[in-house]
């Protein structure tokens, strides 16, 4: 079976009703497991992109992942070519 019509026909039962998978979940019951996501640690460096400055902060700010900051030459070229400002801020943590 291939094609849209055959897939649609396969989803119908004998009476022409769409088949629905039933689950055994109980309403109001807590799930069996929780999924947590660990976000990577952010760097002390902030990049104020495309003319944005730390004083007005009315644009895009990018904070790279710790250990993946660009070197001095890339930061300088971004400043020259794209008017980006890199600032190293101290963490109070």
N-terminal to C-terminal alpha carbon distance within the chain = 60
- Structure-token pair, residue 91: 């963490």
Contacts of 53 by beta carbon, 8 Å cutoff, 6+ apart: 85
Q: What is the pTM of this model?
A: 0.54
Rounded to the nearest integer, the mean pLDDT of the chain is: 75
Burial-class residue 48 by CB neighbours within 10 Å (0-12, 13-18, 19+).
buried
Task: Give residue 13's pLDDT.
Answer: 55
- Structure-token pair, residue 6: 């055959």
pLDDT tens per residue across span 16-56: 555 555 555 566 655 666 666 778 888 999 999 888 888 88
Percent with pLDDT over 70 in the chain: 58
Is residue 90 over pLDDT 90? no
Task: Give residue 1's pLDDT.
Answer: 47
- Structure-token pair, residue 32: 């069996």
Q: How many CB atoms lie within 10 A of CB 85?
A: 18
């Amino acid at each position: 079976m291939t094609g849209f019509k055959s897939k649609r026909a396969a989803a119908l039962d004998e009476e022409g009703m769409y088949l629905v998978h039933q689950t055994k979940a109980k309403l109001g019951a807590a799930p069996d497991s929780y999924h947590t996501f660990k976000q990577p640690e952010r760097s002390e460096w902030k990049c104020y992109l495309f003319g944005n400055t730390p004083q007005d902060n009315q644009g895009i700010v990018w904070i790279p992942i710790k250990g993946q900051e660009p070197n001095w030459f890339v930061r300088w070229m971004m400043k020259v070519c794209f008017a980006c400002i890199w600032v190293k801020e101290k963490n109070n943590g």
